[in-house]
Amino acid sequence: MKKLKLKSSVQIIALALGMAGAVSSCKETFDVDPKNAIEHKNNYQDIYDADAAVTGIYGQLLSVASQYEVLNELRADLMSVTYNADVHLRQIGAHNVSADNPYANPKPFYSVILNCNDVLKNLQGMVDRNAISRAEFDQRYSDVMALRSWLYFQLGLHFGEIPYVTEPIVSIDDLKDAAKFPRMKLQDLVPQLIREMEAIPYKNPYPEASSLNTQIDGYPTKMMFVNKNCLLGDLYLFNNDYNLAARAYKNVLETTTPQGEGAGYVYFNTYMGSSGTDNDAVTASAWQTFLTRSPQDREFQAEWIWTMFFDKDFQPQNPFVDLFSKTGGRYLVKPSNLAIEKWQAQDQKNDTPFDFRGENNTYKMIGGEPVIMKFLYNYLNPTTGLAANALEKNGKWFLYRASLMHLRYSEAANREGHDKIAYAFMNDGIRSTYNNSNPGVEKQATFLPFPYDLDARKIDAPRHRGKHHRNLGLRNRVSVKPTTIDSVDFFDMEAPGKPLKDEVAFRNYMEDKVIEEAALELAYEGNRWQDLVRIALRRNDPAYLADRVYQKLLKEGNPEAANARAKLMNKDNWFLPFRWDNF
């Protein structure tokens, strides 16, 4: 059979609906000659159909971007509503959600999950009848399984107790049958997802030669797929399996190791937390360019692990303009006063106050009001805050990058007693942090066993360049002063070896530093709620989450602040009610 012809593969959402059998295709989304049109029963005939099914699932995923952003950021402490926000957004921000709140509806996520189940079944059928090779099956099956696991993890984080459906069903309405689909609690869901992810046959990104690793209308598809090791690391970390989490993250940190030093920039900069240039000088990077660069740029690809794209010519339309922008959008949410205070409380290395990553980078003051800019740089001019064309709403959906992986790896390392690694990644990098002055001691590397073996040595005689020698540290690459560690409070400074006075207290202290650095570095990238829930559960301390939400609401003058805190002191109230009538 002939390959389905598309106007543009950016229209991949149409494929999800057609290939996964959700709805019929239409002329606006498909450019199909009648003689080439195929019925659902004839789908999944060759590798082109398999690729269309996989990319179609990711196209459908774009439809949950706005909900993902609101649930993960507005429910936490770094995002607040504006005066334009409707009652539903205000409910989400104040943790007082009504039954009809569209942001608390799990149905959009389940729509993608059920199509994942359909694709998984049909891929199995294809390999069984030799329509695709085993290697082709392993790669695509593992990818869809990982995406389904990511979706379920999101549902678990926000609803706490959900139906776990792994087989295709005729209609999403069938989920209303609670007896047929019993619910699984978050504490049981995460181990189940770990088992599913451990069992997938292929955990690496698609190989360079794969038909799914291509260019589509200027967008590199390799950026669009979930990273399986990062997801597995996040699941392990949530499950307090610290060494396994660090191993999964380290596998991504070492993605390009087999290429050797001959790979040059790629080898030394990919996911290293470098300056974004082919240069290992310890200077501030143009941090904003991680957000504005073309996805074709090697600097962009060295920082971002998972990014999806909205194009002005295709559906769905970029939802972030509507959420964030005063031009062409409705300006519904903004940085919280608490978040702005966090950036303003930092000092640059030249003693200038404020964190470079805050104003004019993560957000910008436009018309005297703070606007979240991270998702708007392909739409608004970064200097004027105005759109060149208000109708052309191109944009990126940022999902996972090197900074996030470094901080979560640091969290795992700290819990295993390697707080110096956590400090290095947060501050001045491995080479500077491990460059001790003791004579005869090897420097610029951790000299620890895997997964904490980090080599940042830069030696000329004989020549040696450790993979991490360009790792600058997150604060250093934006010229922010290092985090202060109150060693005297936690170590016995008089005793040999400086033993810890209270290891649990110190691990929590360092963990607080890591999570607050994540707030400064990663705000609005969809991680904050997960971070707060993970730490509060780990410490069995509801106040860890409740106090941060309370402080946000208090600084906004929200009269519901005290009620929200009281409610969140009960863990059950962290989760949205799962209502079958939403289906």
| Shared-domain flag, residues 406 and 269 | yes
Q: Which of 393, 420, 444 is the last residue of a domain?
A: 393
Write down the residue that tokens 């609101």 correspond to.
70
Q: Is 367 exposed, middle or buried (0-12, 13-18, 19+ CB in 10 A)?
A: exposed
Identify the H or E element spanning 184: strand 183-185
Q: Which of 330, 358, 393 is the last residue of a domain?
A: 393
Residue 509 located in a structural domain: yes
Closest CA to 149 of 165, 171, 130, 173: 165
| Shared-domain flag, residues 347 and 423 | no
Q: pLDDT by residue (tens digit) across 226-249? A: 999 999 999 999 999 999 999 999
Its domain, for residue 504, covers 214-311+394-523
* CATH number of the domain encompassing residue 571: 1.25.40.390
Residue 36 located in a structural domain: yes
Residue 533 located in a structural domain: no
| Shared-domain flag, residues 43 and 92 | yes
Tokens of 132: 């695709």
**Contact between residue 142 and residue 203 where contact means Cβ atoms under 8 Å apart:** yes
Residue 535 located in a structural domain: no
Q: What sign does the CA torsion over 94, 99, 102, 105 have?
A: positive
**Contact between residue 211 and residue 47 where contact means Cβ atoms under 8 Å apart:** yes
| Shared-domain flag, residues 1 and 113 | yes
Question: pLDDT at position 455, please?
Answer: 94
| Shared-domain flag, residues 203 and 219 | no
Residue 530 located in a structural domain: no
Q: Which of 339, 372, 393 is the last residue of a domain?
A: 393
Which amino acid is residue 233, in one-letter code? G
**Contact between residue 435 and residue 446 where contact means Cβ atoms under 8 Å apart:** no
- Total domains in the fold of the chain: 3
| Shared-domain flag, residues 430 and 571 | no
| Shared-domain flag, residues 41 and 148 | yes
pTM score of the predicted model: 0.92
Residue 529 located in a structural domain: no
| Shared-domain flag, residues 167 and 289 | no
| Shared-domain flag, residues 371 and 350 | yes
| Shared-domain flag, residues 244 and 199 | no
Question: pLDDT at position 30, please?
Answer: 24
Strands (E), 1-65: none
How far apart are alpha carbons 129 and 193 in whole angstroms?
Answer: 28
Residue 386 located in a structural domain: yes
Residue 128 located in a structural domain: yes
How far apart are alpha carbons 95 and 562 in whole angstroms?
Answer: 11
| Shared-domain flag, residues 440 and 555 | no
| Shared-domain flag, residues 166 and 267 | no
Q: Could you read off the pLDDT tens digit of each residue along the chain, which spans 583 residues? A: 333 333 333 344 444 434 333 333 332 322 323 333 334 556 899 999 999 999 999 999 999 999 999 999 999 999 999 999 999 999 999 999 998 999 999 999 999 999 999 999 999 999 999 999 999 999 999 999 999 999 999 999 999 999 999 998 877 777 777 777 888 999 999 999 999 999 999 999 999 899 999 988 889 999 999 999 999 999 999 999 999 999 999 999 987 655 566 665 667 888 998 876 766 665 666 788 899 999 998 889 999 999 999 998 888 999 999 999 999 999 999 999 999 999 999 999 999 999 989 999 999 999 999 999 999 999 998 888 888 888 889 999 999 999 999 999 999 999 999 999 999 999 999 999 998 766 666 789 999 999 999 999 988 888 888 889 889 999 999 999 999 999 888 988 888 778 899 999 999 999 999 999 999 999 999 999 999 999 999 999 999 999 999 999 999 999 999 999 999 999 999 999 887 666 5
